[in-house]
Each structure stands twice: as structure tokens, then as C-alpha cells.
Amino acid sequence: MKPITVGNDTYTSIAAAARAIGKAPLITIRWRLKNGWTPSEALGTPIIPPVLRRNNKSHRQPIDNYNI
């Protein structure tokens, strides 16, 4: 297991930190860490509730709105 430090606390694993802090599911925390989030950000940022996610096509922006 790989220890992880969040703030001043050190946990024995990512799973132990996720259980202690509990702001997001373990799979989400692992994804965030893999994609460059700091441990504090990954563990301290709550997930977006499903009712607030963009589930509807009408909320999406047309491709013309992006500077590509």
C-alpha cells in the first residue's frame, strides 16, 4: 500500500483516506488522483449530485461556442 498525506494527516492507503474523509466515492478519488488532482483536492471536493449534472441535451453548448 502507498501512504497518502492530506493536510497534516497521513493515511496508510487511498482507501483509508477515503473512508476517513468520505466526500466522494473511492473510484472518483482514484480517478481524480490519476488525472492530476492533489490529494487535498481529490479527497476534499464533494461530487456533483446527480440532479445537478447535465443529463439533458438542451444544457449542452453547441460546438460553435468553443474556440477550437
pTM recorded for the entire structure: 0.69
Query: What Cα–Cα distance (Å) separates residue 3 from each residue in 11, 14, 31, 47, 61?
Result: 6, 7, 17, 23, 41
Segment holding 31, helix H or strand E:
helix 26-34
- Round to whole Å and give the CA distance between 42 and 37: 6
Looking at residue 49, what is its pLDDT? 76
Residues of the chain with pLDDT under 70: 51-68
Decide if 66 is inside a domain: no
Looking at residue 33, what is its pLDDT? 93
Decide if 24 is inside a domain: yes
Amino acid letter for position 41: E
Overall domain count for the chain: 1
- Domain span at residue 21 reads 4-52
- Round to whole Å and give the CA distance between 45 and 64: 31
Of residues 45, 56, 51, 43, the one with CA closest to residue 17: 43
Looking at residue 30, what is its pLDDT? 93
Decide if 58 is inside a domain: no
